[in-house]
Amino acid sequence: MTPTTDTKTSARKKAKFNSLEVAEVKKLTDEAVEVSFSVPEELRNDYNYAPGQYVALRATIDGEELRRSYSLCSAPTGGTLSVGIKKDFGGKFSTWANEQLKAGDRIDVMNPQGAFTSRIRMTGLNDPTAVENELRQIERPRVVAIAAGSGITPIMAIATAVLRGVEDASVELVYSNRGGGDVMFADRIGDLKDKFPSRFAVHHILTREQRINPLFSGRIDHEKLNSLLDNVIDVDGVDEWFLCGPFELVQLCRDTLADRNVDAEKVRYELFTTGTPTKNDGNKGRAVEADPDGDNVQIDFTLDGLSGQVQSPVSAHETILNAALRVRSDVPFACAGGVCGTCRAKVIDGEYKMDENFALEPDEVEQGYVLTCQTHATGSSITVDYDA
């Protein structure tokens, strides 16, 4: 899944925003759109990406700066980027994107990030950093993806790239939605089925619509998932699993696959929600001031080769990200909820606690990498390096 050397971690692109023009806003369902951006020639190297990665979008809406992360939904072609945005109930950014964003608008787009990518050797399209030794050659690879709702977004890019790039590969998709009208990329899924009829299989599960086969109706729970794995999917023959959606579904799938002795190295997952929402203080940066009596934590950090320093009162129990944002507004972050991994940095010195981690691999944690939006110093000082 993730290499145990430092090759991968050192190959990550530096997170930075550029203003890109919206080329097209295409309606996918009543509650979702596909937004495509034009990438100028001089920025194409910065926006090369691996299928499964995401970008963070930044916009000022009603006077408030908002950032949201969205997965890239198509295989890389150069010159354009496309993301799928589903309207969330009460979601200010997603509602704005669905109802107001239009072609010709400009928006800040972070260069692609993320490790929810295939380890199967395809073409240069899935290897923007050219780390060839991280990819493995598999004969007749089989990929299975389980997604719900907007979790299909990165799966579309991965499935398309695998099917196009590996002539003997097969992809099987289990896709859950409330009803047929909620299926994002329905036309594109159908096109893949038409183009690769013997190598692409899709099983639609509708939670609020009755289907002829009861196995494909209702919520995916423990019983239904095991029935799918017993009767539909050849578990032993799968080379890679991709799980994407809400926390409860992803965790159910991970636990069930583990119970069936599926090697954890074969299971890739990405969360769109953690299931445990918390206040994302890093999204704005709380008005915190150093304790005049000196009961503070000394936070030192390096970003873009420059050193920064900030004092954080012990009583505030402040994250490293929130403190750093008070002295450097360009400190990278997107979700501030422990999911995307944009705020990743390496602890050079000091004791700490990381509250949540849904983005870093075990080997990264062992090497001292943390999500600064979830990390608090537990000693009197800490030093982190965003450039590591």
pLDDT bin (cut points 50, 70, 90) of residue 282 is very low
Average pLDDT over residues 106-114: 94
Average pLDDT over residues 83-112: 95
Q: What is the pLDDT of residue 115?
A: 87
Cα(84)–Cα(86) distance, rounded to whole angstroms?
Answer: 7
Average pLDDT over residues 243-264: 96
| Residue 222 in this model has a pLDDT that exceeds 70 | yes
Using the structure block, give the residue that is written with the tokens 């005049």: 292
User: What's the mean pLDDT when you consider all of the chain?
Assistant: 88
| Residue 131 in this model has a pLDDT that exceeds 60 | no
Q: What is the pLDDT of residue 12?
A: 62
| Residue 53 in this model has a pLDDT that exceeds 70 | yes
Helix (H), strand (E) at residue 259: helix 247-259
Average pLDDT over residues 244-248: 93
Nearest-CA neighbor of 93 among 149, 152, 33?
33
Average pLDDT over residues 24-29: 97
Q: What is the pLDDT of residue 136?
A: 54
Which residues have CB under 8 Å from 13's CB, separation 6+?
A: 46, 111, 112, 113, 128, 129
Least reliable range by pLDDT among 12-21, 88-97, 270-279, 373-382: 270-279
| Residue 163 in this model has a pLDDT that exceeds 70 | yes
| Residue 45 in this model has a pLDDT that exceeds 70 | yes
Kindly state the percentage of the chain with pLDDT values over 70.
Answer: 88
- pTM, entire model: 0.82
Q: What is the pLDDT of residue 87?
A: 93
Average pLDDT over residues 61-69: 93
Average pLDDT over residues 177-197: 96
Q: pLDDT of 284-337, one tens digit each?
A: 444 677 767 778 999 999 999 999 999 999 988 999 999 999 999 899 998 888
Q: What is the pLDDT of residue 122?
A: 59
| Residue 6 in this model has a pLDDT that exceeds 70 | no
Average pLDDT over residues 100-122: 91
Average pLDDT over residues 253-272: 94
| Residue 128 in this model has a pLDDT that exceeds 70 | no
Which residues does residue 148 pair with via DSSP β-bridges, in sequence order?
Answer: 176
Contact assessment for residue 337 and residue 274, using Cβ atoms and an 8 Å cutoff: yes
Which residues have CB under 8 Å from 276's CB, separation 6+?
A: 247, 356
Nearest-CA neighbor of 33 among 106, 96, 117, 107?
96
